[in-house]
Structure 1
Amino acid sequence: MADPVTHQQHRPVRIGVQLHPQHAEWSDIRRAVVAAEEAGVDIAFNWDHFYPLYGEPEGKHFECWTMLAAWAEVTERVEIGALVTCNSYRNPELLADMSRTIDHISGGRLILGIGAGWFEKDYDEYGYEFGTAGSRLADLGEALPRIESRLAKLNPAPTRHIPVLIGGGGEKKTLRLVARHADTWHGFGDPEVVERKVRILDEWCATEGRDPADIERSCGVEGGPEQTAQQLHDLGVRLFTIGLNGPDYDLGPLRDWLAWRDQVNAS
């Protein structure tokens, strides 16, 4: 099996920011995504939930995909996407059409981040069947080919191959779906956890006949780059995403990661 650093060597480091669409006004979120782009971030993500994930559980919150359409208009360079879309909330063909539309609005900057879903309150409050982790993963496995099929039929076609990012670390099902369908795998955890996941992902790539070099490794990070950045980079991670909460969306931690990115990419 190829060393993860070797088969990811050609990829530059990229920095993402996840702007949590909770506890903030739209004006705060709009200002934050514009400021993140001006700071030099590569990708701006939100998330696909209907209620805050922490803090006041009934606090302010905005919807994911209508927000992405607005981001497409207020930004010019940065890629945008959900980290991640909940597959349960939208018909797969509709999600493909939404993705194609925002792809055009943004001039080819959408990343289709998707996962099986997990936040039970969203399901209960909005009338979706929660099911089980297994049933939600099975639904995701059925949806991904339908999304791909619909994207191929739409008129006008997408402006580019819309990159698919799959989030999750399940070793038996999720990582196999990544090997089949994804351009980027997004995970989380300390370097020891990530090391295991990338090894298993490479094994699934071998099973599925996929070149592991085709799949970018992504990880959510906390703190500064001096803590885990080099270890994760050594494991082949090339996309590092920092989460910021509203309403202030302090870009200070993000700037440290951007400086580290520029230093690594210049070396």
Structure 2
Amino acid sequence: MSTRPIRIGVQLQPQHAPYELIRDRVTELEELGADIVFNWDHFFPLYGEPDGLHFESWTMLAAIAEQTSRIELGALVNCNSYRNPNLQADMARTIDRISAKGTGTGRFIFGTGSGWFERDYEEYGYEFGTVGSRLNDLARDLPIIRERWTTLNPAPTRHIPILIGGGGEKKTLRMVAEHAHIWHSFSDAATLERKLGILGEHCAAVGRDQGEIEISVELGKQSVAEVEELRALGASLFTLGMTGPEYDLAPVREWLAWRDAAR
């Protein structure tokens, strides 16, 4: 059983809905007591009408940072391929500073991954490469991002948490061991148990305390009993993805009640 408190994150997928509704749902999530609001870093809908309404991730996150005062925020996840690593670091620092209004401590989480949606690459002129090349690029860029955070003026308000999404056992989990404060995956209990063992091997290889890494899992359609199994294995951050055009928050209320009962 994880000793970390349970946290609930909600991914408002920025597709098929007007921005005004997304903004209103962010306000509602903060008022309900959700711990984190995420979007995603794509340029087109991932499902539903392929040319439906869609908004860009980072500009929206800056607006969310200004709009809110308590809830943490980030992308689940950023695509490393779309922006120079030094620029990513500067953007993250800026949103961290925007989100620190009134408290002095930022609320931005740098969620990142190697990218996969080919249409984004083709239509926006990025080289798609291969799964391996994109992962290699992410491994190359993460140290650059972290180094840039040490040179920016003003500096970030805190050590910006890095969330790495993905379950690749050779490359992704190695990067998690080296860089991540949060590891996010779409795992059932059996898969999570196996991958945590592999993550432990990577942590031992790089001299990292595995306990420093928060374990995040997508709720999806899992039952409370299934989520309790994940909790027993060490997961503490549970995320719920939802799409427009409505963003029904009823499931969020249910999972927040579960969180609060467990505390």
TM-score, normalised to structure 2's length?
A: 0.96
The one-letter code sitting in structure 2 at the alignment partner of 1:175 is: L
Residue equivalent to 1:42: 35
Partner of 2:56: 63
Q: Deviations over 1:13-35 (max 9, x none)?
A: 10000000000000010011111
Contact conserved, 1:92 with 1:146, CA < 8 A, in 2? yes
Q: Aligned partners of 1:205 and 1:34: how far apart in 2?
A: 38
**Are the counterparts in 2 of residues 223 and 253 from structure 1 also a CA contact under 8 Å?**
no
In the comparison of the two structures, how many residue pairs are matched? 258
What's 1:121 paired with?
A: 119
CA distance in 2, matches of 1:73, 1:127: 31
Once residues 208 and 261 of structure 1 are traced to their aligned partners in structure 2, the CA distance between those partners, rounded to angstroms, is: 33
Contact 1:44 1:81 in 2 (8 A): yes
Q: CA deviation at 1:203?
A: 1.4
CA distance in 1, matches of 2:68, 2:223: 26
Unaligned runs of 5+ in 1: none
Matches of 1:106 and 1:55, distance apart in 2: 32
Deviations 1:18-70 (A, max 9, x none): 00000000001001111111111000000000000000011110000000000
CA contact (8 A) 1:224 1:256 kept: no
2:90 matches 1:97? yes
Note if contact 1:104-1:159 (Cα within 8 Å) is conserved in structure 2: yes
What is the correspondence of 1:1-267 to structure 2 with a 5 Å cutoff?
Answer: 5=1, 8-9=2-3, 11-107=4-100, 108-223=106-221, 225-265=223-263
Query: Alignment partner of 1:15: what SS?
Result: strand
1:224 positional shift: 5.9
Q: How far 1:223 moved relative to its partner?
A: 3.0
Could you tell me how far 1:106 is from its partner in structure 2?
Answer: 0.4
Counterpart-to-counterpart distance in 1, 2:173 and 2:86: 23
For 1:93, the aligned partner's letter is: N
2:150 alignment partner, SS class: helix
Distance 2:130 2:249 in 1: 37
SS in 2 for 1:153: coil
User: TM-score scaled by structure 1?
Assistant: 0.95
Task: Report the residue type matching 2:195 in the other structure.
Answer: K
User: How many angstroms does 1:189 deviate by?
Assistant: 2.5
Instruction: State whether residues 219 and 241 of structure 1, in contact with CA within 8 Å, keep that contact through their aligned partners in structure 2.
Output: yes
Which residue of structure 1 aligns with residue 103 of structure 2? none
AA of the residue aligned to 2:41 = D
- 1:158 shift after superposition: 0.4
Look up the SS of the partner of 2:14 in the other structure: coil
Q: Is the 8 A contact 1:195 1:235 kept in 2?
A: yes
Alpha-carbon distance, 1:225 to partner: 4.7
Distance 1:146 1:41 in 2: 32
Name the CA distance, whole Å, in 2 between partners of 1:211 and 1:183: 11
* Identity %, equivalent residues: 62
Alpha-carbon distance in structure 2 between the residues aligned to 1:34 and 1:222: 23
Q: Secondary structure at the match of 1:51?
A: coil
What amino acid maps onto 1:133 in structure 2? V
The AA in structure 1 aligned to 2:183 is: W
Shift of 1:78: 0.2
Contact 1:225 1:260 in 2 (8 A): no
Instruction: Provide the C-alpha distance between the structure 1 equivalents of 2:233 and 2:117, rounded to a whole number of angstroms.
Output: 29
Q: What is the root-mean-square deviation in Å for CA atoms of aligned residues? A: 0.9
